[in-house]
Structure 1
Amino acid sequence: MAEHTHSIQSRGREEHRCIQVYEPVGIALQEWEAIRSVLCVQRWGTRQGKAYHNTAYYISSAATSPHHWQSLVREHWGIENRLHWPKDVVFGEDDYRLEDEQALLNWSVLRTIVINILRLNGYQSLKTAMTKLANRVDIIFSLLT
């Protein structure tokens, strides 16, 4: 077992991460024969004065150092926080109940395009952008050109 711990403090938050990387000794399932790493990622700290503690487990066909895993896991959550979370919270993506899977996929792609266009045009807050751009078709079209 190898381990890496990292701590950060910013914006009134304190966060600690500990990644433990194990070799997959004893995992005999044929479907998982390519597994090279088993990870236990613990995150704990305080957000807005409230304590939290989360544990997540990952399996991977890659074998690398705990320090490298640390950056990969942070990248993963960065994508979650910068794309998937806004799509759900700002656009209510999880509330859409379309029967047609292709339509769901198309709408998801369109939301991603909108998020990227807004960010490329300097909008850090999607909520602010949507409020400012509501009923402003002229500005919306100018963002596309």
Structure 2
Amino acid sequence: MAKNVMAITKGHETNEQKAIRQQALNEVKNAPMVAADPPTFLDEVAKAEYKRLIVLLADGISALDENILASYCATYSAIVACQKAINADGVVMTENKINPAVKQMDALTKTLRSLANDLGLTPQARLKMAWNNAKQEDNSDPFKALVKS
């Protein structure tokens, strides 16, 4: 799921700051949902990844995140193409030269990792969101438990 804005805040916030942030979050939540069909400029591998992620991110992604998601999928597709080139030609090509696809794949992997973090796709990003959500619930309202009972 894409990162929750309330979950990534750090430090203490006043009630007024929390209210402003919550209002902003509500506006973002009311944004149109991301299109189920992948953008036409993506290749087949990227489109398949887009469709796979749309199902997994259904409730946590909006149209505002579509460009990040498309970039993630295009980067993923480029990594797959690099891996195919490495599989075909090997890591080391003629005359002990490293296959250029290896360097390209390294750079693409760093980009993919960054985009995955932005979308909340890594275990670390999900753990951080869960931790911040739990922390936020603990600090939010001491009378919350009384109201629930």
TM-score by length of 2: 0.28
More strand by share: 1
Highest RCO, 1 vs 2 (Cα 8 Å, sep ≥ 6): 2
TM-score by length of 1: 0.29
